[in-house]
Amino acid sequence: MIGILIITHGTLGEALIQCACHVLNRRPAQLTQLGVSAADDPLDLLPTAKAMLNSVDSGDGVLVLTDLYGATPANIAGKLAKPGQIECIAGINMPMLLRVLNYRDKNTIQTVVTKAISGGCDGVMQMKVDRDAKS
C-alpha cells in the first residue's frame, strides 16, 4: 500500500484527515500529517518529515500531499521527493485525498498520482442551485 504524508500550513492536514475519517467511517492506515506554523524553521522540520515519511512507507512508495505550491510546506515536501518512490503533489483538497485513499491499495505510485490530480480537479465545480426551490 502506498503511504500518504500530508504537509500543510497549520492544522489543515489534520482537518483533512478528520474529514476523511468521517467520510470513510475509519482512520486509514499509513496516513500521517505534519503541520507547519509561521514560527517553524523548515530545516528543523526536515528530520521530522523524513521520520514521518519512513513511518508510512511499507516499500510501495509514499505520496506527499501539500497545500500550496511554492510555500514552506511544499518546499519541505520537495526535499523529500525521489521520483518513482516518493512523489509530491501540491493543491490538496478533500476530493484528492479521498481519491488517493481509494486507489492506493493495488496501484502503482504513478497511477495514484494521476488519480489524485484528476480527483482534485474533478472535485472542483460550480454547484447548480434551483432558486425556485423552497427551503
Q: pLDDT of 71-109, one tens digit each?
A: 999 999 999 999 999 999 999 999 999 999 999 999 999
> How far is residue 66's CA from residue 69's CA, in Å, rounded to a whole number?
8
> How far is residue 32's CA from residue 19's CA, in Å, rounded to a whole number?
14
Q: Is pLDDT of 126 > 90?
A: yes
Class of domain 3-122: alpha beta
| Cell representation of residue 127 | 454547484
Domain boundaries, the chain: 3-122
Give the model confidence (pLDDT) of 42-78 as tens digits.
999 999 999 999 999 999 999 999 999 999 999 999 9
Q: What is the pTM of this model?
A: 0.94
